[in-house]
A and B are shown apart, each in its own frame.
Chain A
Amino acid sequence: MKNSIRIFTLAAVIIMQLFTVVMAQEEETNEKPKERPARPAFESGLLFDNATTTLQPSKTLEMIIQHRFGSIENGITDLYGIWAPSNIRLGLNYSILDNLMVGIGTTKFNKMQDIQIKYNLLQQTRSNKIPVTVSVYEVIGIDGSADSKFGVNYKFTNRFSYFTQVIVSRRFNEKISLQIAPSFTHYNSTDSLVDHDRIALSFAGRFKFSPQSSLIISGDFPLQIQGISEIREEINETLEHPKPNICIGLEVATSTHAFHIYLGSSQGILPQENILYNQNDFFKGNIILGLNVTRLWNF
């Protein structure tokens, strides 16, 4: 009996000791300094036509005006594209959560309507425990052109196009941020010699040279992958495939605005248009002047 009491007491002491160790470890864990998220890699959620991993805080409304003039190649005849037909998009984004944004927009060319959603999966931390910010971004476009554009077997779903992207960005320091973003574009309806699907790779970068101003650059590179093409290789070799959309410009960001003035190649604004249909070649002088303005309201 005495032995039993001794064993029981010993066991109780051991359990208490273990419990104390576990508690102490938990306290240590609690005392660890909280991971601080890195400051956003880009000032705005928009960089030219591209999305960035930057999301505004919850309950923030963002108004977006995107404007593309015509190509500068006709020179003074149309004042370097300023008098040429221009493309415009008006958009509204709303941050439901700190890491979830939804948006709607309307674009002049093809009367495109769009619904957007962006979700931050990972946030870069200052300790570099998480070295990058990762977002997923989806744009659903609805073409508002006349029914006849979609051929004889018209269905409403022919108007839909989808752009799905994973965006990975890193803020390297106060001045330099870079981003890489693979994407998949799908159109429900295209012309007979245009693929429905295309994979692309986008790059973006920023060099901040003053507290409010940055040099910004981006490139969207549509990839020609025969494995996902519906068109035979010998025909594909004869076709003009989409050209990269290259943009370079200046960003000025204030407390509530971001302003971009830049030179780019694609006149489309929605990313799926740029990936599948851009035929402007930046390096052959098919350059357009573009302007973006964003305005934020916090609630």
Chain B
Amino acid sequence: MKNSVKLLTLLIAALAFVTINTAMTQKEGEPWVIPAKYKSMKSTIKAGDPSINSTGKELYNQHCRSCHGTKGLGDGPKARNLKTSTGDFSSKAFQDQADGEIYYQSFVGRDEMPNFEKKIADEGDRWAVVYYIRTMKK
């Protein structure tokens, strides 16, 4: 019985060590270098468009949620396997960015953040995702 307790304690400690260690080795991403044309980019759909909560939500859940989490907190199941933190979409720092900056980061990407221009080909659908991400503001 004592051995079982010891073994269980050891396993829990090992699991905690691995989890904490993995989380601690994840680094913050370098600041994004965003081309001027994206910074000033204007949406092809209007804020409040019905596609934001239908198409935008659906595409976010299909393509983004596994890393960025349901509420954009960066706590999706795949996030822990990344070298770079996925950031927090609900934060003021993230939401203060221009629409075009979020667009560039979301669809052009870099390093571990894949390019999604082919997977979400329609311009209006991309903006629906950007605006859906906007709804995650705290």
Contact = CB atoms under 8 A, between A and B. Distances in A.
Interface in A248-287: 253-255
Interface in A11-59: 36-37, 39, 57
A60 interface: yes
B121 A174 contact: no
A255 B122 contact: no
Interface size class of A (residues with CB under 8 A): 10 to 19
A255 B58 contact: no
A298 interface: yes
Given A36-B124, A39-B55, A174-B54, A211 B61 contact: yes
Interface string A229-258: 000000000000000000000000111000
Interface string B82-125: 00000000000000000000000000000000010011011011
Contacts of B115: 298
A52 B63 CA distance: 21
Contact of B118 (A36, A57, A212, A253): A57
A186 to B, nearest CB: 36
B61 A298 contact: no
Contact of A37 (B55, B58, B119, B122): B122
B119 to A, nearest CB: 6
A60 B62 contact: no
B63 A39 contact: no
Interface of A: 36-37, 39, 57, 60, 174, 211-212, 253-255, 298
Contacts of A36: 122, 124
Given A36-B124, A39-B125, A211-B57, A255 B118 contact: no
Interface size class of B (residues with CB under 8 A): 10 to 19
29 contacts: A36-B122, A36-B124, A37-B122, A39-B55, A39-B122, A39-B125, A57-B118, A57-B119, A57-B121, A60-B118, A174-B54, A174-B55, A174-B58, A211-B57, A211-B58, A211-B60, A211-B62, A212-B61, A212-B62, A253-B62, A254-B62, A254-B63, A254-B66, A255-B62, A255-B63, A255-B66, A255-B119, A298-B115, A298-B118
Nearest to A299: B118
Q: Which of B54, B115, B118 has the most A CB atoms < 10 Å from its CB?
A: B118
A37 B122 CA distance: 8
Contacts of A174: 54-55, 58
A57 B118 CA distance: 6
Given A39-B122, A39-B125, A298-B119, 16 more contacts: A36-B124, A39-B55, A57-B118, A57-B119, A60-B118, A174-B54, A174-B58, A211-B57, A211-B62, A212-B61, A212-B62, A254-B63, A255-B66, A255-B119, A298-B115, A298-B118
Closest A-B pairs by Cβ, 7 of them: A211-B61, A57-B118, A255-B63, A211-B58, A298-B118, A174-B54, A211-B62
B117 to A, nearest CB: 9
Interface string B63-76: 10010000000000
A214 to B, nearest CB: 11
Contacts of B119: 57, 255, 298
Contacts of B58: 174, 211
Interface in B35-67: 54-55, 57-58, 60-63, 66
Contacts of B124: 36
B132 to A, nearest CB: 11
B49 to A, nearest CB: 13
